[in-house]
Structure 1
Amino acid sequence: MSIELRHLRCFLAIAEESSLTRAAARLHLTQPAVSRTLAALEQHLGARLVERSTHHLALTAEGRAFRDRAAAALAAFEDAVDPARLRHRPLRLGHAWSAFGPYTTPLLRRWQREHPDTPLELLRVDDRTAGLARGEVDAALLRGPVDAPGLVTEELTTESRVAALPADSPLAGRSRLTLGELTGETVVLNTVSGTTTLALWPPAARPAAALTVANTDDWLTAIAAGRGIGVSSASTAALHPHPGVAYRPLPDAPALPVVLAWRDAFPHPATAALVAMARDIVGGA
């Protein structure tokens, strides 16, 4: 059998809804039809994509890997046949937080001047690859190591790290801090799109506890509420000020790479121009 777009749409609906019944309702199909489509796709791939039981449905490891490829393929197809995008297809630039730091505005302004026929859309997506692996954007500004398959990356610059503290914390009275001074605190970790993990500290000197959140907004809220401290890049302090959060330099923490990433297969035609401009803006700063 041959795989068609309906197989991809069906699988992605199942993955997003975590339910055959809800996926069927979303696609305006019967549940048996959705089950047959999924079974045909799994047979073609020779892999089980979804673990299903009476009360539980979850993607397998193969299903999670295929979800990203299916989303990218479907997005590429829909872009290709969308008449509105044929002439002036926007370049969608994703980021999980802080975009390009202090270079964000210069990049957007210069792009508008030099490439007026190709709009540059800056999109925040709470995801480790800022939606790039799922095909939601064409390129992404990311921080830290990027190991998702099928992506090309170029390091543009590095950023120092800062500690984020409740504004009334005794540590906020210090002009700078060390990682060791944070070990007695609960650390707030953004496990969806953030780069900080407990591995930032030596094994024998890690924070006492961790609190996980899913995005930058919840990260800031938790810190302002006194539930813990955080560590992020210096751009976070500049682009995400919060009255309840004090940022202090962490000079002993390793610098964080800032990279531009894009998909190796079928990149946006303006990708090379974006890479060159971003590199030039950093070099001329």
Structure 2
Amino acid sequence: MSIELRHLRCFLAIAEESSVTRAAHRLGLTQPAVSRTLAALERQVGTRLVDRSTHHLELTAEGRVFRDKAAAAVAAFDDAMDPTRLRRRPLRLGHAWSALGPYTTPLLRRWEREHPETPLELLRIDDRTAGLARGEVDAAVLRGSVEAPGLVTELLFMEDRVAAVTSDGPLAARARLTLADLASGPVLVNEVSGVTTPALWPAGGRPVSTVTVTNTDDWLTAIAAGRGAGVSVASTAELHPHPGVTYRPLPDAPPVPVLLAHRTTTAHPALPELLALARELTREDS
């Protein structure tokens, strides 16, 4: 037996739904058919991909690695079979938040002027690699250290951190803040795509508690509601203003590296031009 596209789609549905039953409903198949397809796939790859021994279905460690590879393969196939993309294939640039900060608009305008034949799509995807590891984009703007197999990263610039506090709270009255100022109360942590963790603080002065969120919108809402403070980068203050959130400089926090990443395989033909333009724009101020 050889692996076919239907095996990959079936596995991805199971992974996304965390349920064989829901995956079967989504695919319009019977539950036994989905189970047989998964079993055949596992036999072919020679390892268990899904742990069904618990009440909550989970992917095994091998299954999580295979999920990213399967998603990339399916995305590449769908992209190749889309007739509109064959005529004018867009270059998809992912980001989880704040994109390229102050360089975002200049990048988009220069690209449209200099490469009108290739649309540049800026896509926000709440994922540590902004959809790059799953094959949803061709390149991605990432912040902080990112470890993922098959990715190439290039440092574009370093970005200062800022504190984000409730606008009607006492910290908002200060001109600048320190990490110690924030540690006395809860700190909001974006556990999906953020770069702030308790390890940012020294071992003896870490926050009294943390509140986890999964995206920038929820992070802003929680800060505005007074559930805690947050730490982000300077471009967040510019690109994500909120009436209930005040941003203040945080000079004792180390800056964050801003990276442009792409996969080692299936590169978009216009990727070299994007890399060159990003380098040019970000290094003009260096």
What TM-score range do you get, normalising by the shorter chain? over 0.9
Cα distance change, pair 61–54 in 1 and its aligned pair in 2 (3 A): closer
- Work out whether 1:124 is the aligned partner of 2:133: no
2:81 corresponding residue in structure 1: 81
Query: How far does the alpha carbon of each residue in 1:107-135 deviate from its partner, in whole angstroms, 9 at most, with x for none?
Result: 00000001101000001001111111111
- CA distance, structure 2, for counterparts of residue 25 and residue 174 of structure 1: 55
1:219 corresponding residue in structure 2: 219
For residue 127 of structure 1, give the secondary structure of its aligned residue in structure 2: coil
Measure how far apart 1:217 and its partner are.
0.4
1:254 corresponding residue in structure 2: 254
Measure how far apart 1:53 and its partner are.
4.2
2:194 corresponding residue in structure 1: 194
2:165 corresponding residue in structure 1: 165
Q: Which ranges of structure 2 fall in alignment gaps of 5 or more residues? A: none
- CA distance, structure 2, for counterparts of residue 126 and residue 273 of structure 1: 26
Matches within 5 A, 1:99-248: 99-248=99-248
- CA distance, structure 1, for counterparts of residue 59 and residue 254 of structure 2: 35
For residue 162 of structure 2, give the secondary structure of its aligned residue in structure 1: strand
2:96 corresponding residue in structure 1: 96
Query: What amino acid does structure 2 have at the position aligned with 1:226?
Result: G
Moved more, 81-90 or 215-224: 81-90
Q: Taking every aligned residue pair, what percent have the same amino acid on both sides?
A: 74
- Work out whether 1:9 is the aligned partner of 2:13: no
For residue 12 of structure 2, give the secondary structure of its aligned residue in structure 1: helix
The Cα RMSD (Å) is: 1.0
Number of residue pairs matched by the alignment: 285
- CA distance, structure 1, for counterparts of residue 175 and residue 232 of structure 2: 17
For residue 89 of structure 2, give the secondary structure of its aligned residue in structure 1: coil
Moved more, 171-180 or 184-193: 171-180
Query: What amino acid does structure 1 have at the position aligned with 2:13?
Result: A
- CA distance, structure 1, for counterparts of residue 73 and residue 265 of structure 2: 10
Measure how far apart 1:284 and its partner are.
2.0
Moved more, 220-229 or 52-61: 52-61
For residue 130 of structure 1, give the secondary structure of its aligned residue in structure 2: coil
For residue 172 of structure 2, give the secondary structure of its aligned residue in structure 1: helix
1:56 corresponding residue in structure 2: 56
- CA distance, structure 2, for counterparts of residue 107 and residue 259 of structure 1: 15
For residue 32 of structure 1, give the secondary structure of its aligned residue in structure 2: helix
1:33 corresponding residue in structure 2: 33
Measure how far apart 1:169 and its partner are.
1.6
- CA distance, structure 2, for counterparts of residue 18 and residue 251 of structure 1: 43
Measure how far apart 1:52 and its partner are.
1.2
Moved more, 104-113 or 165-174: 165-174
- CA distance, structure 2, for counterparts of residue 283 and residue 214 of structure 1: 32
- CA distance, structure 1, for counterparts of residue 244 and residue 181 of structure 2: 20
Query: What amino acid does structure 1 have at the position aligned with 2:130?
Result: A
For residue 137 of structure 2, give the secondary structure of its aligned residue in structure 1: coil
Q: TM-score, normalised by structure 2?
A: 0.97
- CA distance, structure 1, for counterparts of residue 231 and residue 21 of structure 2: 41
Query: What amino acid does structure 1 have at the position aligned with 2:154?
Result: E
